[in-house]
Structure 1
Amino acid sequence: MSPYRTVFDNFAHIRRNGYYVDAAKEFLKYGGTSMNMVNFPDYFYTPDSHYEKLYRETIDVAKTVRNTGVDTVITIGPYPLDYFYFQSARKDPVDEMKRGIDMAASIITAGDADAMGEIGYPHFPVDEKVYSDSGVILEYALDVCHDHDIPLILHTEDMDEEGYLRVESIIKMHYSIDRVIKHHANATDIYFNDSITRSFVASRSNIKTAVSSGRDFLLETDYTDQKDKPGKVIPVYSVPKRAEMIKNLYENYDEIFHRIFEEVPFRIYRKEFFDR
């Protein structure tokens, strides 16, 4: 049982063909209490059934994880690299990914999932059309999330301050900035002059940078639960381990915990277990 009321990992993948329940139990063992489980972009489903089966699998796995004692947020939605999957299948990527957004919104509004994501731009250089189409898909997702009051997890390339300000302007034209979070951000990005909330991989250096800024942030592992790549991106127990580090380094650790594990997640996801 965690020595802290809530220890929340904002972004992790748990997979049936990965360490699965054992990964959840390890998270608990080190003091984790809750995590945002995001669908993993597997491409073994057929294009016509891809999103339906991917979302259902993510929800089913999350239910099993909850049975171990880990509270979960469930995030479903098109991943930017789905574009190339549908393109190779001779499908229109924009149409297919919009369909995936609509399906995710329907599932979320029915109460079976909680957030949309990870949506945005590929994290590596792509041609102008792919980047432009990705922007169209993101704007569509923001409009859908606006209409249904759904939080959105943003995926992008590494951005400089100009990039953040550009994306911030897109978000503000379509939705509320406080319901969107940029996952896997670089810690130094927190000093840029924009208002997008960041989620950082829970490394020691990232935490020190983020805490020193005095700004809101979340912590994540971006754990991929792949047996051939154990511990990628960082191990599943990393957020609770870093919570212990925060406790040892900062006298106001209670305030930091309340902010990053309860206050900010509750603002974004509005899940009751962040407010117990």
Structure 2
Amino acid sequence: MKSPEIPITDDHIHFNPRAGRGVEAAKDFWRAGGTHLFMVSLPAYSLGVLPRTGDDYREAFDETLRVAELVRGVGITVFPVLGVHPVELLKYAESVGLQAAEEIVCAGLEVAAGYVEEGLAVALKSGRPHFPVAPEIAAASERVLVRALELSADAGCALQIHAESGPCADILDLAARAGMDGSRVVKHYATPDTPLVPSFLAKQEGLAGMARAGRRFMMETDYMDENSRPGAVMGPKSVPRITRHLLESGAITPGDAWCIHAETPGRVYGVEIAL
């Protein structure tokens, strides 16, 4: 979709030159008509960083910002999202114990919030495991999530949530208690039953119907950029291609597309999205 008349935004995408295609994948997004994206930091360990303090996360966050600048060179507007993937708690607990791991990831979130306050990133990411875990792991994960909500509230930014499939409605209550605006809590890899702000995979069924009904949502690929898993979760061309199909088929209107790709993310993240 060359020279799109509206922005085309991927709400959750990764680029990893160390393990994947990096900027070449970003070029695919751009050539397909993509204009804006929220580039989410990868787990620190996947970048070769095994943090033992919050400051150790800076190496992973700085790498995310470095790659973001390379992607901007393609002609894409990039909004970095920094934080700690919930699986990191489990991984670090294996070597340092659960209590120390909880302290490490919370400190990492505090460092990420500093990047937001400096204007280097637009949002935080956190969450809880999307698979069954021991009760003590679940409790620690919930405390980390609450800390992320508190930090997002203090920084005045949005929070992307990685969590189990389903509504996750209790997170709205956690957000309220943390002083966090629930309209800025985004459920990554969302299902339609969530009361959080949904970020749907581009292949989610019923996108057109939800758009026509006035449902506010965003679209994502969760592209992982790993050569060992090419195209996982969806390829970088997916959001622009599927949006183009929906528009050309008449399934959605240009106004619907504007709401998905510009108005909603602009409001949630507090950024300007325009061509």
Length-normalised TM-score, structure 1: 0.91
Give the CA deviation at 1:208: 3.7
Give the CA deviation at 1:86: 1.6
Query: Is 2:23 the counterpart of 1:21?
Result: yes
* Structure 1, unpaired ranges of 5+: none
2:37 pairs with one of 35, 47, 58 = 35
Q: How far apart are the structure 2 equivalents of 1:22 and 1:252? A: 30
- Asked if the contact 1:204–1:242 (Cα under 8 Å) also holds between the matched residues in 2, the reply is no
Alignment of 1:150-169 (within 5 A): 150-159=157-166, 161=167, 164-169=168-173
Q: How far apart are the structure 2 equivalents of 1:158 and 1:107? A: 29
Q: How far apart are the structure 2 equivalents of 1:225 and 1:206? A: 26
- Asked if the contact 1:21–1:64 (Cα under 8 Å) also holds between the matched residues in 2, the reply is yes
**Distance 1:64-1:221 versus aligned 2 partners, 3 A rule:** same
- Asked if the contact 1:2–1:32 (Cα under 8 Å) also holds between the matched residues in 2, the reply is no
- Asked if the contact 1:266–1:275 (Cα under 8 Å) also holds between the matched residues in 2, the reply is no
Give the CA deviation at 1:2: 3.2
Length-normalised TM-score, structure 2: 0.91
Q: How far apart are the structure 1 equivalents of 2:202 and 2:251? A: 19
- Asked if the contact 1:32–1:239 (Cα under 8 Å) also holds between the matched residues in 2, the reply is yes
Tell me which amino acid in the other structure corresponds to 1:19: R
Cα displacement string for residues 140-167 of structure 1 (whole angstroms, at most 9, x for unaligned residues):
11111111102100111112x4xx3212
Other structure's SS at 2:169 match: helix
Q: How far apart are the structure 2 equivalents of 1:150 and 1:224? A: 24
Q: How far apart are the structure 1 equivalents of 2:262 and 2:208? A: 19
Tell me which amino acid in the other structure corresponds to 1:96: I
Tell me which amino acid in the other structure corresponds to 2:49: Y
- In the TM superposition, structure 1's runs of 4+ consecutive aligned residues that sit over 4 Å from their partners are none
- Asked if the contact 2:44–2:50 (Cα under 8 Å) also holds between the matched residues in 1, the reply is no
* Structure 2, unpaired ranges of 5+: none
1:89 pairs with one of 92, 95, 99 = 95
- Asked if the contact 2:80–2:121 (Cα under 8 Å) also holds between the matched residues in 1, the reply is yes
Other structure's SS at 2:78 match: strand
Q: CA RMSD in A?
A: 1.7
Cα displacement string for residues 112-142 of structure 1 (whole angstroms, at most 9, x for unaligned residues):
111101x111111111111111111111111
Q: How far apart are the structure 2 equivalents of 1:244 and 1:266? A: 20
Corresponding pairs, count: 266
Query: Is 2:63 the counterpart of 1:57?
Result: yes
Other structure's SS at 2:96 match: coil
